[in-house]
Amino acid sequence: MAPVGTARGCVGRGRGQAPTAAAWAAVAGLLVASPVPSEEPADPHAAHRAMAQSQSFSVVKADYSVPDVRLLDQAGRTIALREILSSDRSVVINFIYTSCTTICPVMTATMVQMQRELEGDGPKPAYISISIDPDYDTAETLGAYARRFGADWTFLTGQRSDVLDVLLAFAAWRGNKSNHAAITLFRPAGAPRWTRIEGLASARELAEVWNSGIG
């Protein structure tokens, strides 16, 4: 992967744009009322908390080979991943799991806000969130999660082996879900390479990266 830049210096930030302040505010009420299954012991979200406190994110170009797998969306429909990620479609992808209480709600709320940032800016990408916890995240669970956030895009889960193939293909697997990194992938239609944003960029920063055409 060739580095494009490292932010916060990579893209500008407007006044009052704390790294993830808007996203944290958007999810605070949701977390209070949302039951969460038990996680691994000894603060399993330690890596997530450290990431949430980071003031930087990186932007790099990358080449990925999309695996030939079939996943399930939140309505229980079978989705051929290569088809929905074909090169003639503009796509934005992130990786989440619904029992996460730290960076995943922020990433989801940020994507909702990114959609708003891109309103009126030409053709819109298709947004896709892929669960890294397919054992817990059934289609029904993902559907409920999407409704909580008002997220009107595609959420995907599937067989553990298929999901692992996807995570490995996109260099998004860190050994277990508790080490999950905040990764967002962009690819405008026809672009030969992907743009990988790693870290908790704000919705405005993501929109600026998208509009910059570096994808």
Edge to edge, the sheet with strand 183-187 lists 2-7, 57-62, 194-198, 183-187, 91-96, 126-131, 154-157, 70-73, 78-80
- Residue 80 forms beta bridges with which residues? 70
Cα separation of 136 and 126, whole Å? 25
Question: Which stretches in the chain have pLDDT values below 50?
Answer: 5-22, 24-41, 45, 48-52, 215
pLDDT score for 201 = 95
pLDDT score for 7 = 46
| Domain ranges, ordered by start, for the chain | 45-211
Q: How far is CA 89 from the centre of its chain?
A: 17
| CATH assignment of 45-211, among 3.40.50.10490, 1.10.10.10, 3.90.1640.30, 3.40.30.10 | 3.40.30.10
pLDDT score for 174 = 86
pLDDT score for 84 = 94
pLDDT score for 99 = 95
